[in-house]
Amino acid sequence: MSERITSHRGSPATEFSVAILHEFIRLGVGDLVLCPGARSQALALAAAELERAGSIRLHVRTDERSASFLALGLALETGLPALVVVTSGTAVANLHPAVLEAHHAGVPMILLTADRPAELRGIRSNQTTVQAGIFGGATRLCLDVPAPVGEPDEAGIAVVLARQAMDAATGVGTAAPGPAQLNLSFREPLSTALAAGLPAVTPVTRVAPATSADGPTMLLTPGPRTVVVAGDGAGPAAEELANAGGWPLLAEVSSGARFGPNLIVHYRELLGAVDLGGEVERVIVFGHPTLSREIPALIARAGVETIVVAPSGLEWYNPGRAARGFTRSIGADAASVLAARSPAGREWLGRWVMTSRALVEATANEGRAPMDKRGITRAELAVLRAPLTRELLVDAVWRASWPHDRLVFGASRLIREADKRVPGKKITVLANRGLAGIDGTIATALGVALASQAEPEPRSVGVTRVLLGDLTLLHDVGSLLLAPGEPRPRLQVIVGVDGGGGIFDGLEVAQTAPAEAMDRVLYTPRHVDLKALAAAYGWEYSVAATRSDLERALTGAPTSPTILEVPLVR
């Protein structure tokens, strides 16, 4: 490592920055998200040279909250942490929402936060606060690194720090991926020019960390009437278990398991039925269920055995502390597989599947009328021209999405509407459900789009769509700002405009509280000209006021970032 940087002697800050970024790239980091700042300038200039050498993809943002959620989206798509480089002071504090989301969702992230050296702390020096440990228990590793002074061994120290941070962020040894922070102090001179550029860095082959290191696989025996629940991020393992055991699969829309013959789309209604939901005796939970009240109620019910499966993570999903079994790995034993083929096993699954399919068909036929000889009726024509509802919007976006696309949901009411009704489909659906906040949704989707469409080997040739409400868009409006030279991915931001805060319609108090008070402190409607907003940030814009408009807008994939406004009936 020291041989690579001997031609750049000058500032210890620059020498150290080059060494640590070299090692991160060698370990497999492909993306670096940067916010400008004086204290972090050595890292920034080194990153620019490494981008010039083709060693890393550099993303520059002016807002730290947007930058950190962009890194979150990059990691959701690639499975590897992105580096986030920021200067000192409030810049570090602005990372906190994304750090919390990454912590609770188990998403890897590495924060390189620049800081004042020890002699400038505690004396009210400008842009100086307590940065080491600022994120509390949300980081897997937090190291306060002294300022380099130019000693010969500092390049080696940088290599060790990079390895420690990479291991912590990816869950090596803990099976708990998440954020890691290196708080890097720098003294004047804060940087020197890099003489003749930097050589390209070749990443090493990195073995993914084991995710189920603590304990053997739990094998489920036949007997209890069982359902498999797949919450956010559950992945295909939930579908595989349900299929092997012959059990109904209750999979949320962002679970990664909403497909297969055992899928129960209308699980909410069926859990409320005495002759189905009332007969459940055992629940196997994957991922993080967040979209219904029926799942926690089922788990908390007396006489129901709950087993929680989590290949990684520091916390276990356990509503009401009612779960009794916890495991990193699970499977159906041979007897369970045989029982799935028995008359009793087929009868249990069949009742769920047939009832759900009947509800799906009834939902699909809403608003339809028989066609005449011309192939369309006046009633159908009226439907095509009628105002749009949330149900029509989520149905259309779901139909338009395919395996080569990416679909990102905001924490709006729309994700709940989709979870209630969309059929099974093996597509990539993502959402920030670790804390289920509306923070950073645009930035997260941009990260997913950039990572999936990155050259020279794009992971996806499709389009990334993000479906969200108007308040969720406005909460992250700063992430629309893309500087000149930044990649402009195929991203379609679909905004359901219903006057704000529609998610609060489901609160019991909405039926009794004064309408004026609900508007003022909960719904908080905001009337913003989205066309003018798109123009201000250099985004394309269109509006879909009817079903035919919407179908047309979703048919042609955008070639650059686009906002699609969809007025909704409240």
Place of tokens 């006489």: 303
Q: Which residues of 212-224 are buried (b: 16+ CB within 10 A; e: fewer)?
A: beeeeebebebee
Q: What is the CATH number of domain 2-185?
A: 3.40.50.970
Mean pLDDT of 232-255: 97
Question: Which residue type, as a one-letter code, is found at position 431?
Answer: A
> Residue 293 burial by CB count (10 A; 0-12/13-18/19+): exposed, middle or buried?
exposed
- Take residue 34 and report the two structure tokens written for it: 């940067």
Residues 205-216: tens digit of each pLDDT: 554 444 444 568
**In 3-state terms, what secondary structure has residue 68?**
helix
Average pLDDT in the 329-338 region? 93
Two tokens, residue 23? 């090692």
Long-range contacts at 277-280 (CB < 8 A, ≥ 24 apart): 279/225, 280/225, 280/226, 280/227, 280/304
Q: What is the pLDDT of residues 402-417, one digit of tens each?
A: 999 999 999 989 999 9
CA of 216: how far to CAs of 212, 219, 232, 328, 331, in Å?
8, 9, 24, 8, 11
Residue 314 has pLDDT above 70, yes or no: yes
Residue bearing the bigger pLDDT, 260 or 368:
260
H helix intervals, 36-146? 41-52, 64-78, 90-93, 96-105
Q: Name 206's Cβ contacts closer than 8 Å, sequence gap at least 6.
A: 27, 28
Could you check whether 2-185 and 378-567 share the same CATH topology?
Answer: yes
- What pTM was estimated for this model as a whole? 0.91
Q: How sure is the predictor about 372, in pLDDT bands with cuts at 50, 70 and 90?
A: very low
Report helix, strand or coil for 426: coil
What's domain 378-567's superfamily in CATH? Thiamin diphosphate (ThDP)-binding fold, Pyr/PP domains (3.40.50.970)
Question: Does domain 218-364 bear CATH number 3.40.50.1220?
Answer: yes
Query: Per residue in 493-534, pLDDT tens?
Result: 999 998 766 666 666 776 777 877 767 677 667 788 999 999
Whether a cis peptide bond, with omega within 30° of 0, leads into 489 is: no
Is 151 a residue whose pLDDT tops 70?
Answer: yes
Please compute the mean of the pLDDT values over residues 412-426 and round it to a whole number: 95
* pLDDT for position 212: 42
Asked whether the predicted pLDDT for residue 380 surpasses 70, the reply is no
DSSP secondary structure of 109-140: EEEEEEE--GGGTTTT-TT----TTTTGGG-S
Burial class (CB in 10 A: 0-12, 13-18, 19+), 128: middle
- Ordered by start, the domain boundaries in the chain are 2-185, 218-364, 378-567
Chain-centroid distance of CA 342 in Å reads 40
Token output for 304: 């129901």
C-alpha closest to that of 106 among 227, 215, 206, 235:
235
The whole-angstrom separation of Cα 343 and Cα 322 is 31
Give the contacts of 282 (CB within 8 A, at least 6 positions apart).
224, 225, 226, 227, 304, 305, 306, 307
* Residue 34, beta-bridge partner list: 60, 85
